[in-house]
Amino acid sequence: MTLAADAVDRIVRIALDEDAPWGDITSELLISEDVQVTAVLAAREDGVLAGEQVFAAAMRLVDAATLVTFSVRDAELFTAGQILATVSGSARSVLRGERVALNFIQRMSGVATLTAKYVAETAGTKARIVDTRKTTPGLRLLERYAVRCGGGFNHRYSLSDAVLAKDNHLAIVTDGGKKDLTAALREARRRLPHTTHFEVEVDRPDQIEPVLAAGVNTIMLDNFTTDQMRDAVKQINGRALVEASGGVQLPRIREIAETGVDIISVGALTHSVRALDLGLDIEDS
């Protein structure tokens, strides 16, 4: 798996400019410009790697002569104490890129590691773990890549990619329930290109049949109980994909997956993730 290099560079440049807008006055004061170092990226806890390309970009954009070599690759497991990569180059350059490079790879590896835990709970079922648009502003590309590194899948990338009519949309198009839901969705479907996916959220079981009658592709069950999900899967019976959503947490994943839903969307993968503990340690100079 790779990310578009120009997109990565754009994100990393913003972070580097934020972190050292006029240089690194500490390193420039204390360290001679001719000092060379080798540092290692070490894991201080178990996890799944994500972000090698972004880490390397941070070092490269500070100084193209800095050499970064990974011994563990994206989507691979690692254990506490393991060396993930080596970095060699100017001491000033390595120190200037260190925090930004670590910030990215720690957060991305945290996303991948958390995703892998959710995915493991779906083993033996058909359910896919997918992310949501609840991402850090400006970092969606990286966080969603990290979800894939953890074995998960991506939902629509943006509002431009697919139709997903949620409760507020439905309240408006039905004028607070005064207009027929099926008719409103059918009219929308008629105007939609045939290649565009159409998903509708329901928050009550009685909405399922009116939504199905409109010929949608996916029905999202919002904050349904496990029993309600199981009943909904039987009711829908393959007429649309079924997505479970709303307050989904790790302890519930197994029981949700076993209801027969096709998709479980989890905002926590990106909005509540903890950065993994990785460190960059100077070995010699």
For the annotated catalytic residues, the residue numbers are 99, 134, 166, 201, 222
Q: Strands, E, within the chain: which ranges?
A: 36-43, 47-48, 67-70, 77-78, 83-90, 128-130, 163-165, 198-202, 218-222, 241-245, 263-265, 278-284
Q: Which residues contact 56 (CB under 8 A, 6 or more apart)?
A: 68, 70, 101
How many angstroms separate the CA atoms of 224 and 159, rounded? 24
Identity of the amino acid at 103: N
CA distance readout (Å), 194 to 190, 191, 220: 9, 9, 20
How many angstroms separate the CA atoms of 81 and 62, rounded? 27
How many angstroms separate the CA atoms of 50 and 111, rounded? 8
Q: Which residues contact 267 (CB under 8 A, 6 or more apart)?
A: 131, 132, 134, 248
Quote the distance between the C-alpha of residue 91 and its chain's center.
Answer: 33
